[in-house]
Amino acid sequence: MAHTIVMVSTSYPRFPGDTVGTFLEPIAQGIAARGHAVHVVLPWHPQVDRAPVECGVHLHYFRYAPASLSVFGYAQGLRADVHLKTTAYLAAPLASIAAILKTRQVARRYGATILHGHWVIPGGVIAALAASTALPLAISLHGSDVYVAERYHFLGPVARWAFSRASWVTACSDDLRQRAIGLGASKDHIEVLPYGVDAKRFSPDPSTGAQTRTQLGVPLDAPLILTAGRLVRKKGFEFLIDAMAKLALKWPELRLMIVGGGDLDAELRQRARDAGISHHVTFAGNVSQNAIPSYLNAADLVVVPSVRDTSGNVDGLPNFLLEALVSGTTVVTTDVGGIRSVAKDGRTAVVVPPANADALADAIHTMLGQPERRRALGAAARVELQQNRSWADFAEQLEAVYDRLTKESY
């Protein structure tokens, strides 16, 4: 049965290679590839450079402010992923009204059979306000939405109301599922639907890795650690820098490359300087998503040092973790949030306690000193993710949710 789905989101790659909302694109395209009509309603942004229809997905942008004030969505709302920015408060009312009107317009024009809000706040709330009572509503949870509903008491009841209107809720990890139930989601109408990953795109390629090292100025025989993500508290990069200070004493040629930008850029650079390891650490800034496979192939080890920050925010399920695991590059990561659902200590990764620089340093030291074990662990991770985490499988599972919503009454 073919569906017409209108997705409501505040994030989606604005241009080829963009690093925000990267997982939304394969979600939408995967459903379109299965023969369904997919429309995505998004806030306009000055950097948007997309065709109206790409890979079967129709993109509909709404404007709510001049270009200089277009600050709604695209990971612009939280300072260091901890505090809502003042600009987010100011932009939200106008942007939400514009989003509701645009969603209703698209739903009517194209004959929507399902509305699907991404992030309960704001996408789920917007979709719920835009939906007619007869239209099934799905809401997908991705991480920061649950956090803001927990942290900001005035948003908790808003999330609870959206959950009460939802026919079904999906969460990318069991941690998010449990927290959503605590916010009012029905335990009978929520399921874990973890992200997929493109194993063909993120595949081992030693020759590309060597070329990338040359381009980056990293000697072929220098151990290279790679990490990536927005420079925010929940990523735990400060603990990795502290671990590097210990490791540099034993591995004088060791390099750490941090890919990504964010509010903590200056603070993290200063931390590396204070530790006397600036020459060991490269801050690469934002790198095109298209280049990430090459960076992964260049690395000896990937570290994903996520933490639950002091305000309670935590990664849902880091896409970079999935990309690293399926690339065959060995991963050292932490036991927090949705990570434990895919990173199995000693089987697909090395998993250590979060917010523990000593544990990170010990694990990295061990892996760097055991290249055969490192390669075997990376190969095992790739096999497991190829078998269990494809975007095609994700699309099939999401399609089953849509089928259920149109057949059953909640």
What is the predicted pLDDT for the residue at 1?
82
- Note whether residue 124 is domain-resident: yes
Say what the pLDDT of residue 71 is.
84
Q: Indicate whether 346 and 320 sit together in one domain.
A: yes
Which pLDDT score is estimated for 54? 98
Same domain, 226 and 243: yes
pLDDT at residue 78, rounded to an integer:
63
The whole-number pLDDT of residue 110 equals 98
pTM: 0.94
Q: Per-residue pLDDT for 89 more than 80?
A: no
Asked whether the CA dihedral 221, 300, 304, 373 is positive or negative, the reply is: negative
Do 271 and 140 fall within a single domain?
no
Residues 6+ apart with CB under 8 A from 147: 311, 312, 313, 314
- 291 lies in a domain? yes
pLDDT tens for each residue of 236-274? 999 999 999 999 999 999 999 999 999 999 999 999 999
pLDDT tens for residues 114-153?
999 999 999 999 999 998 777 999 999 998 899 999 999 8
**Structural domain boundaries, residue 315:** 206-388
Residues 149 and 221 reside in one and the same domain: no
Is residue 369 domain-shared with residue 224, that is, in the same domain? yes
Structural domain includes residue 314: yes
Q: Please indicate, yes or no, whether residues 139 and 250 belong to a single structural domain of this protein.
A: no
- pLDDT tens for residues 375-398? 999 999 999 999 999 999 999 999
Predicted pLDDT at 80: 60
Give residue 100's pLDDT. 97
Are 48 and 63 spatial neighbours (Cβ–Cβ below 8 Å)?
no
Please give the average per-residue pLDDT across 162-171, as a whole number. Answer: 98
Band of residue 91 on the pLDDT scale cut at 50, 70, 90? confident
Q: What is the pLDDT of residues 351-375, one digit of tens each?
A: 999 999 999 999 999 999 999 999 9
Residue 201 belongs to some domain of the structure: no
Tell me: pLDDT of 409 over 60: no
Better-scored residue on pLDDT, 146 or 92: 146
State the pLDDT at residue 70: 85
User: pLDDT digit string (tens) for 172-199?
Assistant: 999 999 999 999 999 999 999 999 999 9
Q: Is the pLDDT of residue 82 over 80?
A: no
- On the question of pLDDT at 76 being above 90, the answer is no
| Angle, CA of 228, 229 and 234, to the nearest 5° | 120
225 part of a folded domain: yes
Could you give the percent of the chain with pLDDT greater than 90? 88
Considering the domain boundaries, does residue 342 fall inside one? Answer: yes
Residues 19 and 113 in one domain: yes
Handedness of CA 45, 259, 288, 10 (dihedral sign): negative
Q: Are residues 272 and 301 in the same domain?
A: yes
- Tokens standing for residue 68: 């200089």
Looking at the structure, tell me whether residues 145 and 228 fall in a common domain: no
Helix (H, G, I), strand (E, B) or coil at 343: coil
pLDDT number for residue 83: 65
323: left (phi over 0), alpha (psi -120 to 50) or beta: alpha
232 within a domain of the structure (yes/no) = yes
Residue 28 has pLDDT above 90, yes or no: yes
The number of domains in the chain is 2
Q: Are residues 39 and 187 in the same domain?
A: yes
42 inside domain: yes
The CATH number of the domain holding residue 14 is: 3.40.50.2000
Band (410; pLDDT cuts 50, 70, 90):
very low
Task: Note the pLDDT tens digit of each residue in 39-51.
Answer: 999 999 999 999 9
- What are the pLDDT digits (tens) for 307-357? 999 988 899 899 999 999 999 999 999 999 999 899 999 999 999 999 999
pLDDT score for 249: 96
192 and 305 share one domain: no
Shared domain for 187 and 224, answered yes or no, is: no
Q: What is the pLDDT of residue 142?
A: 95
Distance CA 325, CA 373 (A): 15
Q: Are 72 and 93 in contact (CB under 8 A)?
A: no
**Whole-number mean pLDDT of the chain?**
95
